[in-house]
Amino acid sequence: MARGGRATLSEMQFYETVDRGQLLGRILLRQSIRALSVAIVCAAWPSVHIAAQALAHLQFRLQARETVESHLKSFSTRNGEREALIRKWLAESGCADENLSEQALDRILPPNVICVLPGETQEVIVVGAHTDKVERAGDGVVDNWTGATLLPSLLYSLSGQPRHHTLIFIGFSGEEKGLVGSRYYVDHLGKEQRARIEGMVNFDSLGLGPTEVWASHADRVLLNGLASVAAASKLPMTLMNVPRGASADSESFAPYHIPRITLHSVTSDTWSILHSRFDNLAAIKMNDYYDSYQLIAEYLAYLDETLKPAPKPDHAQRGSLLRWAVSGE
């Protein structure tokens, strides 16, 4: 997670967590997220029941916990090696050669790694996490190897059956340098291509505890959907905004009005772990980490079912979609 500067406890704008069962009913009590209107509360309660019904027929699979943990433990402290490992595991998780690519950046940084999972339509869900760590501070396991290593696991989870949306899994480079990789990716898409992105789901710094969501910077529909899936699946999820000055790759999509949401696990008690020598494997709570993986897998399957449908493309259009997912052409 990118930090705009050193934050002291008095400057940190973390907000009180909300129990999952009380999440929607207490949103208005949080002055810090007043931008979330009454409409969210009113609309989201019915969606819990809708999510419970939808979850009954959602199709996804979970990668074995041993594999998920093995990937997490196989971290490197070199950013180039981290990107190469994610690319390797995406291929092993079923990303076909023609759908797996690297996007070179203008700066001397490792490339973005991109896997396209073609769907029935041209509508896109971007699934992202940054692969790089901050230089000379800790092992970067929390920030953000925990997010990056979920990309191949989530590809495995979603690729077992046809999808309505085309899902694009991206390991962004240079997040710690100022969201370089994510900005490069979205800036180099054309207007029409950006318009087809129905949502951007980002995860950064997981495993320090139960799943959190950066609610004040989340799209209302995406936030309601996440709350509904968490309640229906009985997996923990709470609201927790991040300190003033911090950022994440989801923010690169905000200027283009692309719906976005970032999931994390950081609280005011654990914020100091990031960008420090304490950012290592010992900081991870494996039960919480695997719960986050399961919640995100279910959530992505739910979004694929519930976000607005689009016409099915013909063969030529699908080929074009794969090209612009990488090159923007």
pLDDT tens figures, 219-242: 999 999 999 999 989 999 999 888
CATH classification at residue 32: 3.40.630.10
Alpha-helical (H) ranges within the chain are: 38-57, 65-73, 79-92, 146-148, 150-158, 180-187, 191-195, 220-233, 286-306, 315-327
Residue 302 domain flag: yes
- Tell me what percent of the residues of the chain surpass a pLDDT of 90: 69
Bigger pLDDT: 135 vs 321? 135
Residue 5 domain flag: no
By CB atoms closer than 10 A (0-12, 13-18, 19+), residue 117 is buried
| Domain containing residue 86 | 16-52+61-327
> What pLDDT shows up at residue 137?
86
Q: Among 180, 201, 203, 326, which residue's Cα sits nearest to residue 252? A: 180
pLDDT tens figures, 241-272: 887 778 899 999 999 999 999 999 999 899 99
Q: Please write down the HEC assignment for all residues of 35-51.
A: CCCHHHHHHHHHHHHHH
Overall number of domains in the chain = 1
Q: For residue 172, give every residue at least 6 positions away whose Cβ sits within 8 Å of its Cβ, in sequence order, or none.
A: 112, 128, 129, 130, 131, 132, 179, 181, 182, 185, 249
> What pLDDT shows up at residue 133?
96
Alpha-helical (H) ranges within 74-149 are: 79-92, 146-148
> What pLDDT shows up at residue 39?
37
Per the structure block, which two tokens stand in for 240? 């927790």
Residue 304 domain flag: yes
CB 222 within 8 A of CB 12: no
3-class secondary structure, 189: coil
d(C-alpha 47, C-alpha 21), whole Å: 13
> What pLDDT shows up at residue 258?
97
As a whole number of Å, the CA-based R_g of the chain is: 18
Per the structure block, which two tokens stand in for 82? 């981290």
d(C-alpha 57, C-alpha 305), whole Å: 10
| Strand-pair category, 2-3 with 246-247 | antiparallel
Residue 202 domain flag: yes
Residue 196 domain flag: yes
Residue 174 amino acid letter: G
Please report which confidence band the pLDDT of residue 187 belongs to, taking 50, 70 and 90 as the band edges: very high
Question: First vs last Cα of the chain: how many Å apart?
Answer: 30
d(C-alpha 243, C-alpha 9), whole Å: 9
Residue 201 amino acid letter: V
> What pLDDT shows up at residue 161?
92
Alpha-helical (H) ranges within 100-196 are: 146-148, 150-158, 180-187, 191-195
CB 180 within 8 A of CB 174: yes
> What pLDDT shows up at residue 106?
76
pLDDT tens figures, 271-322: 999 999 999 999 999 999 999 999 999 999 999 999 875 455 555 555 555 5
3-class secondary structure, 103: strand
Residue 83 domain flag: yes
Bigger pLDDT: 186 vs 312? 186
d(C-alpha 38, C-alpha 26), whole Å: 11
Handedness of CA 151, 80, 179, 187 (dihedral sign): negative
Residue 9 domain flag: no
Residue 222 domain flag: yes
Q: Among 233, 238, 86, 90, which residue's Cα sits nearest to residue 157? A: 90
pLDDT tens figures, 30-65: 333 333 333 343 344 455 555 566 677 788 999 999
Q: Among 99, 116, 176, 103, which residue's Cα sits nearest to residue 145? A: 176
